[in-house]
């Protein structure tokens, strides 16, 4: 599916500056600051590349954990996604690593020889990039990740949670799932499909920062 050029030109960062000042001038007040996050997708601007976004959702209150991932092509079309629970998870880093390990094993049917990986975990990103010593909780998952990436041309980078909103929502769905579920573009949950479409149309995302 192609981007709509007029929408791509409309939703640029420069067009969203000053929104809070305009609203305040009109009489609205805010208890939080609104920051425009980078335009999260699309596209890769590199033919034959695919992008994999992964996330782990760790609930500190009841220790429930969900994981998820989504694979898209250079136009932003969804090729594959998954969500599922991750019982007996020890920490958020382990959830992120497990989400990546499972994703890399399940996307084998697709051509992912050139793969761009995004995660909102700076620790996981740094660990894989610099091959840092493994924490015991991710040792098994990280072995799978390294072995899966051996024959791929890949990049891995950190993205803020707002830019990883599609994978974040899938991981959230995984918390209440009874088992791992795989999706294609037709079977994606509607809320996930909507967020993915917003990425594809280059809609910006916002970070709400509470004022002191």
Q: What are phi and psi of 151, to 5 degrees?
A: -100, 20
More confident residue, 109 or 63: 109
Classify the C-alpha dihedral 158-95-172-109 as positive or negative: positive
Range of the domain at 98: 50-203
Residue 37's pLDDT is what? Answer: 43
Residue 144's pLDDT is what? Answer: 94
Per mean pLDDT, which range of 20-29, 52-61, 177-186 is the poorest? 20-29
Residue 145 lies in a domain: yes
More confident residue, 24 or 154: 154
Query: What CATH number does the domain containing 71 carry?
Result: 3.30.420.10
Residue 71 lies in a domain: yes
Residue 28 lies in a domain: no
Q: How far is the C-alpha of 30 from the C-alpha of 209, rounded, in Å?
A: 11
The residue written with tokens 């209150």 in the block is: 61
Instruction: Please provide the average confidence, as pLDDT, over all residues in the chain.
Output: 82
Contacts (Cβ under 8 Å, ≥6 apart) of 133: none
Residue 25 lies in a domain: no
Residue 211 lies in a domain: no
Number of domains composing the chain:
1
80 and 65 in contact (C-beta within 8 Å)? Answer: no
105 and 195 in contact (C-beta within 8 Å)? Answer: no
Residue 78 lies in a domain: yes
More confident residue, 68 or 20: 68
23 and 40 in contact (C-beta within 8 Å)? Answer: no
Classify the C-alpha dihedral 1-158-109-167 as positive or negative: negative
Residue 60 lies in a domain: yes
Residue 65 lies in a domain: yes
């Amino acid at each position: 599916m192609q981007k709509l050029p007029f929408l791509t030109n409309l939703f640029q960062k420069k067009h969203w500056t000053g929104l809070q000042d305009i609203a305040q001038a009109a009489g609205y007040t805010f208890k939080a600051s609104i920051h425009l996050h980078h335009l999260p997708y699309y596209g890769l601007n590199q033919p034959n590349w695919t992008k994999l976004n992964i996330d782990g959702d760790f609930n500190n209150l009841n220790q429930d954990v969900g994981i998820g991932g989504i694979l898209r092509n250079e136009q932003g079309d969804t090729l594959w996604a998954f969500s599922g629970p991750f019982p007996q998870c020890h920490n958020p880093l382990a959830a992120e690593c497990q989400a990546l390990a499972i994703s890399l094993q399940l996307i084998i049917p697709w051509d992912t020889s050139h793969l761009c990986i995004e995660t909102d975990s700076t620790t996981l990103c740094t660990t894989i990039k610099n091959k840092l010593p493994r924490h015991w909780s991710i040792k098994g998952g990280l072995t799978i990740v390294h072995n899966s990436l051996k024959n791929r041309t890949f990049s891995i980078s950190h993205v803020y949670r707002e830019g990883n909103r599609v994978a974040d929502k899938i991981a959230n769905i995984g918390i209440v799932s009874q088992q791992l579920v795989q999706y294609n573009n037709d079977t994606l949950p509607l809320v996930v499909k909507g967020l993915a479409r917003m990425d594809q149309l280059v809609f910006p995302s916002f970070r709400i920062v509470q004022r002191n």
